[in-house]
Amino acid sequence: MRKRNRVFGHTLTIYLRLLGVQLRSQLQYRFSFLLDLLATALIVLVEFASIALVFGRFGSIQGWSLGEVAFLYGMVEMGFGLMDLLFSGFDPPHFGQAVRRGTFDQLLLRPVNITTQVLGSALELRRLGRIAFGAAIFAYGLQHTAIVWTAAKVLYLPLVLAGMVFFFGGLFMIGATITFWTVDSIEVMNILTYGGSYVISYPMHIYQNWLRGFFTYLVPAIFLNYYPALYFLGRPDPLGYPGFAPFLAPVVGAGMLLLGRAAWRWGIRHYQSTGS
Amino acid sequence: MEIIRADRLAKQFHVNRHHRGVWGSVRNLFSREYRVVKAVDGISFTIDRGELVGYLGPNGAGKSTTIKMLAGLLVPSGGEVVVNGRIPWRERREHVQGLGAVFGQRTTLWWDLPVIESLQLLKHIYRVPARRFQDNLETFEALLDLGPFLDTPVRSLSLGQRMRADLCAALLHDPPLLFLDEPTIGLDVVAKERIRRFIRHVKEERGTTVLLTTHDLADVQKLCERVLIIDRGRLLYDGNLDTLQQQFGGKRELVVEFAEVYETVEIAGATVADRRERQVTYHFERNALSASQLINRLSRRYRITDLAVREPDVEATIRRIYEERLLE
């Protein structure tokens, strides 16, 4: 037990040191960092402005106000951005390159847990721009909705964010695992990650049944954001799921992360038996 | 005491058949056609502690597959391998703690970090005690002349500087075993010599076991007492470099400068390979007669002003072994 604790402590300090390396490395390129930050922030802003324009025209989307959609949208930007920051090392195109260039082999030659090393191999600081503007849009949403805050809601909010980080992090891990075999199929994963995060930025009752069904039963992203939002905003459930549905976000997130981890471990075993 | 034991070690890969074109890429998704490539085909050898062994073979012979299995990156598909008393892939972390590796083509250091910070990070990764780290760093700094670029980011180093930094990084945690894959590739003569001196030091002063793969046979000639030669996944030769030379070294050369132009210069035991006025080149077999015997025979008949004996070089020997398949 004590030995396990020591290994864990070592792993954690190495993780933090590796993140420190990423931080220092990227701050050497201050100008390009600022440009990147600006660019990602602009993208978020333009995307949200285009939504706001639609609202200017129609007033609401199937009963949801701009403020309520801002709540949804801001949550996803923050959650996905945070995930993108922390799981940069598993970003499939990035990881696929590490495998092909042999840098992944270099990680396997070091006496530290391999998952930790991949997590510490990249930290895309420019995602901070996305997170910051997501937070701004979220704040706008809070101002323009009348959420009745309770202690439970305040405590649950970070868990919803964590759920999204875990969920998309798990998908990134699965995507990274696939690159052990092929880099051609990354697009399929993009549909789930980027497509999924886009889909859950809107109130999901607006979608056609097949699309909503896909993101409920196959990839249960509906529970990550839409259902928690119903709870926070105090809206009735138009789809008639059980009352605990809004509280599934952390469970669904943790489930996807576990699935990702299982795939990842299996992938590494395969890699060690075949090379690339 | 053996540190590496490979017993009928084998690795085969399944290479998927690739179909071309649009229809081909659709077929690739579903096709299970493949052919089996035997990258390493049952090789056995042992390496003792403190040995410096050259591992040679043409491209695609199975060298890097072997090294990857010894390093624990690949799981063998047959046979056994034990390194440092462990099965490499089964206990990866414990195994790599006792291993240093330099792959000449890529660096283990962090690209944007000054060299010294990379080394300090590795100190934490390998849990090197502070005192030990300091001692080792001082030693390597002096031997490899790291001082001038310790504070330079790795991305700005020259190839030779990077290789020296990588060598230092691979040895900070005192591994008993060091894998060097093409450590002198792309370097100039002076830089090569410095690296060789360092490798010799590591073997002699620290007792580190070194397994060296290289295309530069000068490395082998200057460093290794023992070589393993592999081709097409099979071990062709395991032994002394001198013995290899004697067995397969081909013909020695004697270049003679005579005092005058003789009409016939034929002599028993040697063949005339080249003749330019007073200068004649003879080829003779090492096993048939010695250089002094030949010189004796010649000087009895002709007046000689100058002569030189040329040994066949290792490079030519090994090329001959590959090309003429002498060892199969």
A14 contacts B124? CB cut-off 8 A: yes
Give the rounded percent of residues in chain B with a pLDDT score beyond 90. Answer: 52
* Whether the Cβ atoms of residue A55 and residue A61 lie closer than 8 Å to each other: yes
Q: Between the CA of residue B91 and those of A63, B55, B102, what are the distances in Å? A: 59, 25, 21
CA distance A141 to B36: 60
CB pairs under 8 A between A and B: 68
Confidence class for position B253, pLDDT limits 50, 70, 90: confident
Asked if the structure places residue B110 within a domain, the reply is yes
Which has more confidence, A57 or A217? A217
pLDDT mean over B73-102: 94
Q: Kindly state whether residues B197 and B88 are assigned to the same domain.
A: yes
The answer to whether residue B147 is domain-embedded is yes
pLDDT reading at A44 higher than 60: yes
- Comparing CB atoms, the residue among A17, A106, A272 nearest residue B108 is A106
Residue B20 lies in a domain: no
Choice among A16-25, A64-73, A241-250, B255-264 with the minimum mean pLDDT: B255-264
Same domain, B203 and B110: yes
Nearest to A275 among B13, B94, B101 (CB): B13
* Residue B25 pLDDT > 70: no
Those residues whose C-beta lies under 8 Å from the C-beta of residue B182, and which sit 6 or more positions away, are B103, B104, B105, B213, B214, B215, B216
More reliable by pLDDT, B125 or B241: B125
Contacts of A18 in chain B (CB under 8 A): 121
- How far does B97 lie from chain A, in Å, by closest CA? 6
Task: Say whether pLDDT at B68 is over 60.
Answer: yes
Domain hosting residue B184, numbered range: 50-74+84-245
pLDDT at residue B144 greater than cutoff 80:
yes
Q: Residue B45 is encoded by which pair of tokens?
A: 């050898």
- A184 vs A52: which has the higher pLDDT: A52
Q: B190: distance to nearest CA of chain A, Å?
A: 28
Give burial (CB, 10 Å; 0-12/13-18/19+) of A183.
Answer: middle
Across the interface, do A14 and B13 touch by the CB < 8 Å criterion? no
Q: What is the ipTM of this complex?
A: 0.86
Query: Cα distance from A88 to chain B (closest Cα, Å)?
Result: 17
- Is B184 domain-assigned? yes
pTM of this prediction exceeds 0.90: no
Chain B's closest residue to A120, CA to CA, is B110
pLDDT-derived band at B278 (thresholds 50, 70, 90) equals confident
Claim to verify: residue B183 and residue B257 sit in the same structural domain: no
Both B171 and B257 in one domain: the answer is no
Query: Nearest residue of A to residue B118 by CA position?
Result: A21
Q: Are residues B241 and B255 in the same domain?
A: no
Q: Is residue B300 part of a domain?
A: yes
Distance (Å) from the C-alpha of residue B200 to the closest C-alpha of chain A?
Answer: 24
Cα–Cα distances in angstroms (integers) from residue B224 to residues A12, B56, B69, B116, B227, in the given order: 42, 11, 22, 31, 7
**CA distance linking residue B207 with residue B200, whole number of Å:** 10
Asked if A170 and A252 touch (Cβ cutoff 8 Å), the reply is: no
Nearest to B96 among A13, A109, A274 (CB): A109
Q: Please give the mean pLDDT across all residues of chain A.
A: 91
> Is B42 contained in some domain?
no
Q: Give the total number of structural domains in chain B.
A: 2
Closest CA to B97 of B127, B140, B69, B118: B127
B183, B300: one domain: no
Say whether pLDDT at A276 is over 70.
Answer: no
**Cα Rg of chain A, angstroms:** 20
Q: What is the pLDDT of residues A155-213, one digit of tens each?
A: 999 999 999 999 999 999 999 999 998 877 778 888 899 999 999 999 999 999 999 99
Answer yes or no: is B34 within a domain.
no
Instruction: Tell me which residue in A102, A111, A272 faces B125 most closely, judged by beta carbons.
Output: A111
Q: What is the mean pLDDT of chain B?
A: 88
